[in-house]
Structure 1
């Protein structure tokens, strides 16, 4: 199974892109588990909650992979939870770090926060998205991950950037 993680700061178009890519490739996508978890348990959370969110995201990826056709699109990933934990609690649980390395993603699409902020009761960081973006960029570089940056105000342009990168990576570009 070829796994594509859509990563980056809040309100950078990850979910919209995940849904569109899944439709384009006629495959499954893994939704963002944290939304379900925080809606159920409330927005006050601690490090133990982030570990549960990470485990939920990981388990959803396993479950949704069964319905995917060669390609699984992941709307968020364990890197998001790692950075979220480091920013909020100045540390990350070893399980999250371990899973990120034991079960790597094949590609990352790093969404640039050049879209307007969309308020949402579950979002926390409207003012530091550019700083967070740089943190994601450094983390991906440090991991030697295969990634591309997705940018631009036009959604079709962002989608085409993602499709071109995935197609090249899968050997579909001609």
Structure 2
């Protein structure tokens, strides 16, 4: 298949909103692959808080993973987050973002972003840092997606209801694009 015709779906949102679980579910539902979050594995191997260079490495790693998975996709590529996360974290931690990230943002198109709502209970995880800032980060995600003029929809609810809403949003996108 021509990789330029692959529909790219980004599953994004604040910490502990079920992005990886949703990505795996959607990939199975659509019989395709999903790109894991590069930063998760990267940060598991860090022995200190991420540095500026680590943020750049995570940006480059996420792009490389997406490039690796794209030819394996079956019409749709599900992305468990995107490198916008690097911008959001860098802005929070360092007060600014790496220029490479800012330069790349307008050049990476996703056909649909599923912004997962913070209506799921917080799940503790050693790689999660801001349980009391979920509302703040939800606002940041809205702001970033609007700044990109991105096609996005908020996915809320729990259990099967949450999955059904995500599938419905993707199906609408698929029917609109063809």
Q: State the Cα deviation string for residues 9-65 of structure 1 (Å, max 9, x = none).
A: 000111110000000000010001111111122352111101100100010000011
Q: Which of 66, 70, 92 is the aligned partner of 1:61?
A: 66
Judging changes above 3 Å, is the alpha-carbon distance between structure 1 residues 105 and 46 closer, same or farther for their aligned structure 2 residues? same
Task: Measure how far apart 1:139 and its partner are.
Answer: 1.4
Tell me the distance in 2 between the aligned counterparts of 1:4 and 1:42: 32
Tell me the distance in 2 between the aligned counterparts of 1:155 and 1:64: 27
In the alignment, is the contact (CA less than 8 A) between 2:115 and 2:152 conserved in 1?
A: yes
Aligned to 1:129: 134
Task: Measure how far apart 1:70 and its partner are.
Answer: 1.2
Q: How many residues align?
A: 172
Tell me the distance in 1 between the aligned counterparts of 2:109 and 2:87: 14
Runs of 4 or more, structure 1, over 4 Å off, are none
Aligned to 1:164: 168
Aligned to 1:89: 94
- Partner SS, residue 127 of structure 1: helix
Unaligned 5+ segments in structure 2 are: 1-5
In the alignment, is the contact (CA less than 8 A) between 1:43 and 1:122 conserved in 2?
A: no
**TM-score normalised per structure 1:** 0.95
